[in-house]
Chains A and B, each alone.
Chain A
Amino acid sequence: MKKGQLERLPLRARHSNRDTRIQSLDIVICVILIFYAFLIIFPFWNAFVISISSEYAYQHSNLLLWPTEIDLTSYQRVFTNNRLWSGFGITMILLIGGTLYQIFFTVITGYALSRRNWTGRNLVMNMILVTMFFGGGMVPYYCLIRDLGLMNQIWVMIIPGAIDTFNMLLMRNYFASLPAEMEESAKIDGANDIIIFVKVFLPLSLPMLATVGLFFAVGNWNSWYNAMLYIDRGHSNLWPLQMVLKDMITKVSSDLDVGTKEDFSEGLTMASIFFTIVPMMCFYPFLQRFFVKGIVVGAIKG
């Protein structure tokens, strides 16, 4: 549109030096962005090269920009590592069970709060909003989890995550933006609120549901915080993948069955990192638009 305007103005067209200046600015922008993208990629590449190199190559070359010879020992050790596979199993439980659980409670809460005219709605809304600005802090929360008897149980990574206030408000705003007449006509046809929710509103909000679900899924895939706080080393068979990885990264030289000193712990760690991020790298380009949508809608409406 802007370009068309320029072409229609003969006076502008004669200033040919202006056009070349725009061209050079374009190239500058392009170079800066590609350089920045390179900076983003470099740590991935560096880790990848280390993961497919032998220890000898890692220690004896100046800068590993390209694998001198491909050595897949690190990956072999990843795939035969029981702790990583047990972490993977726990993460899959969190990813499937936890995500469905979170979607269920977050979405029904968002729907109920999106409907006007029911007694107590504002009270509940304010009760929830207060928690966004003020909380008890880490220690009382820790005491609560301990008193509930959730320590060292897999449930501690699932149950307390039932509702995420940000995602809940995202769903609420989406439901509220759908035409209220649908609800009224369904009411006249004799449907109750649950039927209206399941049969009318839910099918219309699948894109938003996908966005919220993906945010939950990524959170569960990356979950380690709850495991670190509430699941001790004695129950490390309940640690999710990221917690196993964290343990590996911070304690590479400990007496655990991974990363003893003679082993190439650097390579094993990098290979394990790829084990955890490759699924996300494969899916991200296709799912990117859902994430972007979530953040844009959330920020504009919230």
Chain B
Amino acid sequence: MELTTIAKRNNPFRKLGGKIMRSKYLILMIIPAIIFYIIFCYVPMYGILIAFQDYFPKRGVFGSEWVGFANFAKVFKETKFWLAFKNTLIISSIKIVISFLGAVTIALLLNEIRMRRVKKTVQTIVTFPHFLSWVVVSGFVFSLFAGSGAVNSIIKIFGGESIDFLADKGFFFGMVFSSDIWKEAGWGSIIYLATMAGIPQDQYEAADIDGATRLQKIWHITLPGIKPVAILLLIMSVGGVLSAGFDQILNLGNNPIIREDVNIIDTYIYYHAIEKSGNEGIGTAIGLFKSVISFTLVIIVDRIAKACGERGII
């Protein structure tokens, strides 16, 4: 009799059951999340199999014919795809650099300014555009750079010819970078500003006693102080190097004249595999190609950062 109760108590399934019963309400609270992540994150991951199939929506992932790497071979032969790939790398790497420099510069200026009211007002103004959608920002950009817009008016005042900014690839890249700075640099500065506020004041006091100038203090105290956060954010942005900003490029690059020339990977997928049906296999193959590269990049950069003694992300 006693032996059976001991056996019952030590039964691992019973133990597990008891544990689950004790936290039954927490498990009840997590069940929606489990269902949500399985449906909206893991089912699409399973859908990656489409990349290796001649996919027909009616037959689904189960019934479609397997074609191996044929979709990849087809994509990699397209010159337009490689153009989109190149555009993505150019746009996102330049964006990473300039948005970093822009955010740090604004943070430094806001950190150094002593007029509190100016600081607060400027901060409110420069962080606001982050909350606009790219739809609105593209409306602003078009109205500024249109044939009879403000920029062309200024050119005409100085005696120049009006320029068709919206249909030129070079100017398009310029608009992408400047609108990105306009929208995000102020918001990006917040995190650096918060880090700067966390640098111990006694370091600055010690520098004052040693007779350091303001610029020296910025160079030797403030900038080293934000280095860990800067590295962390740069690592995270490297993972997104193949996402050059779908929303932005889609809204700004809607002009049919340049649309195909300024594609990035994501807009390429959208125009070729979602707007046009029947290309699901190709679209999924490109998506998989992109995810694998991004994932590998994140891991590599994380390892490098850890090897250099910085905090990683994984």
Contacts and interface: CB of A to CB of B under 8 A. Distances in A.
B29 A192 contact: no
Interface stretch (A73-81, A118-126, A204-212): A118-126
A141 interface: yes
Contacts of A266: 143, 146
A143 B23 contact: no
Interface string A172-213: 000000000000000000001110010000000000000000
B125 A144 contact: no
A292 B194 CA distance: 9
B223 interface: no
Contact of B118 (A33, A118, A141): A33
18 contacts: A9-B209, A33-B109, A33-B113, A36-B109, A118-B22, A118-B27, A133-B314, A137-B48, A137-B288, A138-B266, A140-B44, A141-B40, A143-B50, A162-B32, A218-B131, A224-B133, A273-B139, A292-B127
Given A33-B122, A139-B274, A295-B191, A224 B33 contact: no
A136 B191 contact: no
Contacts of B6: none
Given A2-B208, A299-B191, A143 B280 contact: yes
A131 B41 contact: yes
A72 interface: no
| Size range of the chain B interface in the assembly | 35 or more
B25 A25 contact: no
Interface in A218-272: 218, 222, 224-225, 229, 242-243, 245-246, 249-250, 266, 269-270
B30 A112 contact: yes
A242 B133 contact: yes
A22 B28 CA distance: 61
Contact of A245 (B41, B114, B139): B139
A133 B298 contact: yes
Given A33-B118, A277-B132, A249 B142 contact: yes
- Main secondary structure, interface of B, reads helix
Given A63-B153, A109-B29, A138 B269 contact: yes
Interface in A8-61: 9, 12, 22, 25-26, 29-30, 32-34, 36-37, 39-44, 46-47, 50, 58-59
A299 B131 CA distance: 18
Given A12-B208, A144-B47, 13 more contacts: A36-B122, A37-B126, A59-B148, A63-B157, A119-B16, A133-B295, A136-B48, A137-B44, A140-B50, A266-B143, A269-B139, A277-B132, A280-B128
Contacts, number: 270
B245 interface: no
Contacts of B129: 40
Contacts of A36: 106, 109, 122, 126
B73 interface: no
Q: Is the interface of A mostly helix, strand, loop or mixed?
A: helix
A97 interface: no
Contact of A139 (B139, B143, B284): B284
A43 B45 contact: no
Contact of A29 (B22, B109, B121, B150): B109
Contacts of A163: 33, 36-37
Nearest to A296: B194
Interface in A137-151: 137-144, 146-148
A245 to B, nearest CB: 5
Contacts of B251: 246, 249-250
